[in-house]
Amino acid sequence: MEEQSIFMRVRNSFLNGKPIILVDEEREVEADLVFPAELITGNITEFMVRYGKGLFCTVGPHDELIKRGFFKLPSNYGANYFIPIDYPLEENSTGIPTYERALTCNSISDNSKWANQFKYPGHVTLIGAIDFSKRKGHSESSVELLKICGFKPYSVIVEILDESGDSHNFHYIDELSKQFDLVKITIRDVWKEYIKNEQLISISSRAKLPTYYGEFEIISFDNRLDYKEHFALVKEWHDGTPLVRIHSECITGDCLSSIRCDCGSQLENALSLISTHGGILIYLRQEGRGIGFTPKISAYALQDRGYDTYEANVCLGFKPDERDYAPAFQMLRALGIHRIRLLSNNPDKRRQLNEYGLEIDAVENLYGRVTEYNKEYIATKISKFHHNINMEIVNNSSNYFHHDNSNQ
């Protein structure tokens, strides 16, 4: 409901001629003023240039811009810049007054206008947005936001700089939002709505998979969300809500019997429980808390020198935990599952799945094997990742297939 109301607020703000602030908390740590290109006027352009102060850009779907004949610039990084444009009002217009720049933005949002009707190089930076699933920049999220709010997928964006010209000052951004009563929304908010609205994962193949824990059905997926080969193991269940384990790949623990962590034994434990009670195991190919295999081994090397698993990931320039459970949510939805009992100690997993709209009836702990090699690692999961693990049980546990049903 919260999300619904924020998107309605954004829509109303646009209809009332007010830009909104789109905050990127995770990637660039910047915020942009955003407005629909189709509705922008000279006055709104003037406001955005005066109070945003960054680059004045208009953004449209990359492939449509190419189709309409616009010229892409060579680039060696993420954003897809095109040659800047003007839409000439009359013969001697310069393109720089705000009413002319507004006209250029209105014109780019009109699909019937072709590249040869514009002037080059002009005074409005033109950017092509690719699929939001492939890039989560301001360009892509602003276009997605407009689609969600019922406007054409062409936005106008300007980065917000503070009095000293810094673009990373969130306090200033908050003050600006208060001063002009501008709605603030994050890229993460747009991403959550996108994951709810667009089903990008579908079932590809299903086959029998006999294992030492019993016979499962193994299911592969066509995945246009992150293009990774996630899969699911399913065992038929009889009572209403399936037991679900969402397991992130740990090739050293899962396949090589490593006891640096408890992943391998958690996986065995999950298979055993799901085989007994029925349910689903979602296996996500996000090695090393989403940082990838090679960085994980670099993180291990740092841990050999005294860092903990949290510090090691940060030291390598990653977030402590990079995992996104959007693919798990969409895989479950592809399987027709909207309500689960979650086997997990990880509060972030529960929070994310909840935010995407999955109903979680209960959370049940899943313990792994405790060894002298992974005790510290498990202690860090508790102290820094706030995993709901009872260390007393861990300390006293000689039985590594411990399953605690008491925690909801």
Residues that bind Zn ion (CB under 5 A): 250, 253, 261, 263
Residues in CB range of 314: below 8 A, 6 or more apart: 320
Residue 323 is a catalytic residue: yes
Half-sphere exposure of 293 (CA within 13 A, CB side): 7
CA atoms of 340 and 207, how far apart (whole Å)? 23
- In the complex with Zn ion, the residue whose CB is nearer, 227 or 373, is 373
Least distance between Zn ion and beta carbon 175 (Å): 44
- In the complex with Zn ion, the residue whose CB is nearer, 257 or 398, is 257
Least distance between Zn ion and beta carbon 319 (Å): 17
Q: What type of residue is 302?
A: L
Q: Which two tokens stand for residue 15?
A: 């209809």
- In the complex with Zn ion, the residue whose CB is nearer, 263 or 284, is 263
- In the complex with Zn ion, the residue whose CB is nearer, 110 or 322, is 322
Least distance between Zn ion and beta carbon 242 (Å): 24
Residue 206 is a catalytic residue: no
Helix H segments across 59-97? Answer: 62-67
Which of 321, 333, 341, 369 does the annotation list as catalytic? 321
Burial class (CB in 10 A: 0-12, 13-18, 19+), 72: middle
Contact 70, 85 (CB under 8 A): yes
Which of 11, 323, 341, 369 does the annotation list as catalytic? 323
Least distance between Zn ion and beta carbon 301 (Å): 15
CA atoms of 387 and 365, how far apart (whole Å)? 10
Least distance between Zn ion and beta carbon 254 (Å): 7
CA atoms of 303 and 309, how far apart (whole Å)? 7
Contact 156, 139 (CB under 8 A): no
- In the complex with Zn ion, the residue whose CB is nearer, 60 or 253, is 253
Which residue in the block uniquely carries the two structure tokens 């890039």?
Answer: 135
Residues classed as catalytic: 321, 323
